[in-house]
Structure 1
């Protein structure tokens, strides 16, 4: 991979805007979801998109891959999918008389895990090492994944037939979760008009490449996070562990993911430092899918997103220096 010079933060912001603008060609009326996808990419995370079929989950993932001209692979999760289909398998080469590792679908810059909760928990777990450590271990060997590396997984609501709930360990690997929601009427009308011309994804053009994105990720790492902001992040996460409506709070990995996402939010806002508002603006997307409401909260129809919002409101915001 060609090494690119580390861009400035204004250049990172411009790059993110170009990617988002290109994605918006095929995703009408969803600027917040597009922005979150770009944020997770630059924060070295993975994105979980949960919603009913047909609202654009797969289109968003494919549009991001096309916009960055990265290697994109799709894994269609089904009940009969094997872990080796995801990570790869060693096969015997008759000519060389040796075993060779055939890479699975996880080896790409953008991996679209379509309907991830239709596969068995065993197959879902095959992605844990790749998502946490950007590598795959097989037959005593470790294989590094390409950079940048991002899993965008779609899942249907667990009430739908043929779905398995994602294990807690799997959900915790995703930096953020978003829902697409039904489009506004005008956006849906515009989608019909666009589809009349053929494949809508063909209109998405590459505006950058994988090496440039990797360099932008390096630039984001330099965004300053003051000790008081780190303390604020931990206070928010700790509050989820003590909340009476939650039987499972957010993990230490959630603190790390919230801090990383906040750095990107600061960079995209043109700042080289994180402020409390960066943290608060991302907390629901980063934390809600990791926590589990109590039975009493579920009966009272208090969902995880609403509970996390109340947590944010209850934690004192640090004063700006």
Structure 2
């Protein structure tokens, strides 16, 4: 007698990897739907971050004179690129299962495809922003180095892992409790202030205390590590003075951040798999 299989429960992320063609179809669908009847299309990937950058740069860099950071434009835009990509990936991933309710009810396919596709779409939008960041850093005097390039790669992978793990977890819970969407929106609204995107780290150190547990928690926030990595990759290479301001413990914090991100992926997959059997009836 063959083993009974719970309907609606697939093989998890491994099944997504095996059905990459379905993932590609979902990503293309998301992009087509988002830019349908749009004049700029993918050009919005440049316009939105450019407007956000301009608002913060004028408000903080010019009006409030945030000039304690050399090459502030590169510093600011690098952090915004990371936070914007993470916010888009997590926000869309959280809503992904509910938004694809018709497919969930009518077609059997790995449900993990939906949050993973949302993360991939954010990755598509991230690429042109990284290109603009690299060009701006080169104009500011940045010269690529091996450590910096590895830091940039680590930043992208870490951000993707974080968004995937949290996206799996929150998208599953969102099917049962739609309040999750509103909570995520609130968190994402203040996210840009929870990492050294708009300000230097030493201001937080001065506020919380160098040896305090709150400052240690702030520094070991994986998203803070991702922002520090993009700063090491681009902003730090613009001048020797900037390189000297990169935290010396960044390598150790990066290793810890990857462990945390991997744990979130495992936890998110476990919760998603446990709840996925209820998706069709709840939707």
TM-score normalised by length of structure 1: 0.25
TM-score normalised by length of structure 2: 0.27
Instruction: Identify the structure with the greater helix proportion.
Output: 2
Instruction: Identify the structure with the greater strand proportion.
Output: 1
